[in-house]
Amino acid sequence: MPKVISNASYFKDNSLVKNQDIAIDGAIISGINESSNQENESSLVLPGFIDLQIYGAGDRLFSADPTAESLTIIEDDLLKKGTTGFLACMATNSQEVFDECIKAAKAHRSTAKNCLGLHLEGPFLNPKRLGAHVPAFVRKASLDEIKKLIDFGDGVIKMITIAPELQDDEVIQFLLDNGVIISLGHSNATFDEATAAYNKGIQTTTHLFNAMSPIHHREPGIPTAVFNHDKAMASIIVDGQHVDFEVVKFSHKILKERLFLITDAVTACSIGPYQHLKKGNKFVMPDGTLSGSSLTMLEAVKNCVLYCGISLNDAIKMGTQYPAKLIGVENLTASIAIGQQANLLIIDDHFNLKEVIFKGETI
């Protein structure tokens, strides 16, 4: 017997459709019809969130505990919060730690639930724009090193953040040829260098405004290159700490469907090179440098609506459809439609999470 979400409201394209029964058969949405129970309170149903940059959850920082068990704990915690697809992120680190994280991801692959692979944020970054990254591990990539990395990754490396102004064209082209999403980030590229990188095929930008050349009226920098490009996308951290809400507002007005949400979330950690300390609603390194966020994707959507003047429909797409399209998993969460995988959230009018459904099963 199919599971039914009764008297639901959901966004279809740009319109809110009300009073619908959403039927789920197995892991798939099998039917959407007008509800016969319209006297009951309506629920707002959203597609599950896709977070392309998160370091840890459930009190586990993946790079500090690079095991398949750690990934399982992170997965379960994120599912409870409505993230039904994510890339586990690794910051600039030693080769040994990178190898252990990749081994763990490969070992976990056969039993993975919502972990879609890895995002390597470094080590091929610009030392002038490191933020909280450890400078001792930063270096320029060689083609031979990249070939070995992708071969060892065996398909689990889905995304890499690099500073393209310091990398050879053959490195960038090899990554693109092997289906890896390249994100421009931790970069001091000029407007012209960033524009050239996007024209070469680099698809997106890591945490817009953070750890990059800024906008200046005589030196337009990376953000202006993203704004002026017709295809380049960008992720953004909407916690009010990494980027002011007013800056998020005007960025969305310019980029529209090219801007998507990430949490860049970490957990408290007191070991290894990345020791994150919780300060209010943010994390900092021991020297006070701002590091990751404490966001959930639902909180990011809420902040977009309440503080950035972004419509709820657009904010939902920023956390679902746009990142899903970037990495090619639209069938998982791009929309609520017959035939789509039943990865769904039910929330109330105050953005409280009432239920998470993953592959048709209530979490």
- Show Cβ contacts of residue 73 under 8 Å, excluding neighbours closer than 6 positions: 57, 58, 59, 60
Helix (H) or strand (E) holding 46: strand 43-47
Beta bridge mates, 161: 121, 183
Please name which of 23, 78, 94 lies closest in space to residue 363, comparing C-alpha atoms: 78
Structure tokens at 90: 């690794």
Query: Length of the chain, please?
Result: 363
Tokens describing residue 10? 């959901």
User: Cis peptide before 123, with omega less than 30 degrees from 0?
Assistant: yes
Taking the C-alpha atoms of residue 68 and residue 75, their distance in angstroms, rounded to an integer, is: 10
In this structure, are strands 234-237 and 259-262 parallel, antiparallel, or unpaired?
Answer: parallel
Residue 56's closest CA among 70, 36, 67? 70
Question: Which listed residue (21, 65, 239, 264) is catalytic?
Answer: 264
Strand order in the sheet with 15-25: 28-34, 15-25, 3-12, 43-47, 344-347, 353-358, 361-362
Nearest one of 76, 92, 70 to 136, comparing CA atoms? 92
Token readout for 38 is 């319209």
Q: Where are the alpha helices (DSSP H) in 186-242?
A: 191-200, 221-228
Is there a contact between 49 and 319 (Cβ–Cβ < 8 Å)? Answer: yes
Closest CA to 222 of 255, 254, 245, 195: 195
CA dist 195 and 223 (Å) reads: 10
Active site residue 349: no
| Catalytic machinery residues | 264
